[in-house]
Amino acid sequence: GAGVSQSPRYKVAKRGQDVALRCDPISGHVSLFWYQQALGQGPEFLTYFQNEAQLDKSGLPSDRFFAERPEGSVSTLKIQRTQKEDSAVYLCASSRWTVMNTEAFFGQGTRLTVV
């Protein structure tokens, strides 16, 4: 594909509902990141995958957040029992390698609104 693709672009969830956000990285990209961007803030790291391995999930705010990348390509971020404070834009980024001098390419994000 042309770039990192995220779906849905917009999601409205009732408090307590479970949601699943999808990320299609650029084909062949080894590294995949999820970031959370609250209104008026910069993106904040949630979790990192190297192929199918989740090497860092230190940024996940609670055990209601879960991410997977079972085949090392598409990734899903799942939020259980959504709360109002989960409202944010969720960004996915991928990069070709794991070494330092590689650029991260971002998707357009999924805007989650919990009502």
Partner 1 sequence: AQRVTQPEKLLSVFKGAPVELKCNYSYSGSPELFWYVQYSRQRLQLLLRHISRESIKGFTADLNKGETSFHLKKPFAQEEDSAMYYCALRPQTNAGGTSYGKLTFGQGTILTVHP
Residues that bind partner 1 (CB under 8 A): 3-4, 31, 33, 35, 40-45, 48, 50, 55-56, 91, 95, 98, 100-109
Residue with tokens 């705010």: 61
Min. distance of Cβ 68 from partner 1 in angstroms?
18
Residue with tokens 């357009």: 108
Min. distance of Cβ 10 from partner 1 in angstroms?
13
Using the minimum distance from each CB to partner 1, give the nearer residue, 107 or 114. Answer: 107
Using the minimum distance from each CB to partner 1, give the nearer residue, 59 or 80. Answer: 59
Min. distance of Cβ 22 from partner 1 in angstroms?
16
Min. distance of Cβ 112 from partner 1 in angstroms?
17
Using the minimum distance from each CB to partner 1, give the nearer residue, 27 or 101. Answer: 101
Q: What are phi and psi of 68, to 5 degrees?
A: -145, 160
Residue with tokens 């989650």: 112
Using the minimum distance from each CB to partner 1, give the nearer residue, 18 or 113. Answer: 113
